[in-house]
Each structure stands twice: as C-alpha cells, then as structure tokens.
Amino acid sequence: MDLSSITSAISSVYGSVQEFLFANIAGPLLYQFDLMSWAEDIFDGIDWFLFGCIQIFLIIVVLRTWERLAPAEKQERFAKASRVDVFYTLFHRLGIFHGLIFITISGFFFQIDSILHDFRFDRLNVESWWPGVTSVPVVSFVVYLVLLDLVEYLYHRASHTFAWWWQLHALHHSQTVMTAWSDNRNHLLDDTMRAVVLAFFALLFGVSPGQFIILIVLSQFIQSWQHANIKVHLGKGQYLLVSPMFHRMHHAVGYGHEAIGKPGVLGGCNFGVLFPWWDMLFRTAIFPKEVYPTGVRNLVVSNNLLTQQWQGLSHALKELKPNKLMK
C-alpha cells in the first residue's frame, strides 16, 4: 500500500466520523433548538473537535511518555499544581474555546472582510507571489506559518511589555511544574485578544479557513511539546525550531519575564512561538545548556481555575488605574 492509498483511507475515515457526529449529535441538537442556519458552520467546526481529539491522544501517548523517559526535572506524577492545566487544554483543544470565539466575533470579521472588499484591498495572497512555487499548497502553507509566527512573536513580546497585559499573561508563567498540558494555561481575556489578532492577520494575509485550522492545530501541538518536561538538545536544529529547552528558558525565574540584571522590571527572552529566528533577529534569544526552575518571582497563584481567572483580571485592572498609568 503506497502513501497515496494510506492518505486516502485516513481521509475517508475522518470524513465518515465527521458526518456521523453531525448526523447523530450536532444536527439533531441544532434542529431541536431551531439553529439549522448554523449547520454549515457547525459541520466545519467539528474539525476543531476531531483535531483536538488527535492532539489529546498524542499528548497522552507520545509527550507524556517522553516526559517519563527523558525528564528535564523530577516531578511528582499528576502534581496538584498541574491538574488544572488539563482542563485548560481540553477547553481549548476540543473546540469549545474556538466555538465561543466564532459565535461572538464572526459577525465582526464578516464586516471587516466586507470593508476590505469595498476598498478593494488586495490581501497578500502568497499563492500569487511566485506562480509555480508559492502556488504549491505546501509552500504557501509554510509561508503563512512563518508570517503568522512573526505576528505571534510581536504579540507575545508586547504581553511582556505592558504591565496590565503582563498581569494577564503572568498566569501562563506562574506554572512551576511545567508539563505537556501547560501550553493552554492562559487567561481567557489574553487568549481572546490573541485569537482576534491572529484571525485578523490571517484575513489580511489571505489564509483560507481550511489552512487556518491546520496552521493553528500544528502550532498548538508543537507548543505542547515545547512546554513538556523534556530535556532534549536539538544540536543545530535548535536554530530552526523552538525546542522545549529554549522555551523553558522563557519560563525560567529571573530570565523569561524580567530584564536581565533588573529583578522586577518587565523584559525577558525567547519570545518565539515556533521559530527562534525572530529572537535571534531582535537579540532576545538565549540558548540554554542547563535546566532552570520555572515560575514568576513573588507570585502566588491559586490552583482553582476560576480564582486564577479572577486574580489575573483584577491585577490587570489595578494596573490600568490612572495613578498606575502615570508612573
């Protein structure tokens, strides 16, 4: 059996499962609540759920096993501090977060798209840059991946620059027991802003909806690997892809969120999401050889999900008070 036959078989099984879920679960629910006008969007949304199931399976079977075989640090198995991260991951990866985002802001993006069309704005349309080369789906996919990674680098670095924004992002950095579940440990407001920014630039770049889902899913799984408790050195490959060691340095106490030599002053290193090139270009890269403890200096965060969300929001609002902004 050749690769084409295997790919075709997998695609057929995937399509059958998607149709089964819609016909037996999603469709009847939409009919029951008189929401059949959403049928097409919900059918496409099942992609998020199925890709999420695949990711969860790979996290459990591949990444968690890898963590036990080559841990960066010794950890208590199923540590209390990391249990809430599992819920964050399930919420994001199984399509719940993306579904809510679609419901709340899809109308806004349809208006943006209409305005761009009225002004005859030409999107980047990577496929037309170099006919015969960038028009190849794999090539255009890689170009979009790099472009969106630059957007993510700038967004990530901004979250370490403004005090109110950092108070939201600090939840992500507060984890002292990093595992493959830690990537989605974020404040929902920060995640929502990031989703809006990425969707906006994907719209400007001309990324198709199908490509966008694959781009996000691939990025998500790589980031789960980066947050995993794995000690792995990629050799020269560390200059091509952000590794768990490189990203762990971004979470290191005194390095990842503070200016070098200035405790308490916002700054940091290794902001790259997929590729270290932007850190290398903007001189924020540190390629570590040792494992450093993770967390945020002098920050105590509850293990309760709702309390975590409230703490982040209340601290961010305090930073937005006029007396704070004038400092």
Give the N- to C-terminal CA distance of the chain in Å, as an integer: 67
In-domain check, residue 187: yes
Query: How many independent structural domains does the chain possess?
Result: 1
Tell me whether strands 258-259 and 262-266 are parallel, antiparallel or unpaired: antiparallel
What is the pLDDT at residue 275? 97
> Cα-flanking dihedrals φ and ψ of residue 122, to 5°?
-90, 120
The answer to whether the CB of 263 falls within 8 A of the CB of 297 is: yes
Contacting residues for 62 by C-beta, under 8 A, at least 6 apart = none
> What per-residue confidence (pLDDT) applies to 147?
93
Distance CA 168, CA 187 (A): 6
Q: What is the pLDDT of residue 299?
A: 87
- The answer to whether position 2 is within a domain reads no
Residue 145: inside a domain: yes
Backbone torsion region of residue 78, taken as left when φ is above 0, otherwise alpha when ψ lies between -120 and 50, otherwise beta: left
Sequence-ordered list of residues with C-beta below 8 angstroms from that of 230, at least 6 positions apart, any chain: 63, 66, 67, 70, 71, 72, 244
- What's the DSSP call for residue 73? S
What does pLDDT average to in each consecutive run of 10 residues of the chain (327 residues)? 76 89 90 85 86 95 95 86 92 84 68 70 72 81 93 96 95 94 96 90 82 91 96 92 96 84 80 96 93 90 93 93 65
Give φ, ψ of 265 to 5 degrees.
-95, 125
> Which residue range(s) make up the domain with 259?
7-325
Q: Is residue 1, in this structure, part of any structural domain at all?
A: no
Residue 191 placed within a domain: yes
Sign of CA dihedral 254, 259, 265, 270: negative
What stretches of the chain show up as alpha helix (H) in DSSP? 3-21, 27-32, 39-58, 64-69, 80-93, 96-118, 137-159, 163-173, 188-205, 209-227, 244-250, 277-281, 305-319, 322-325
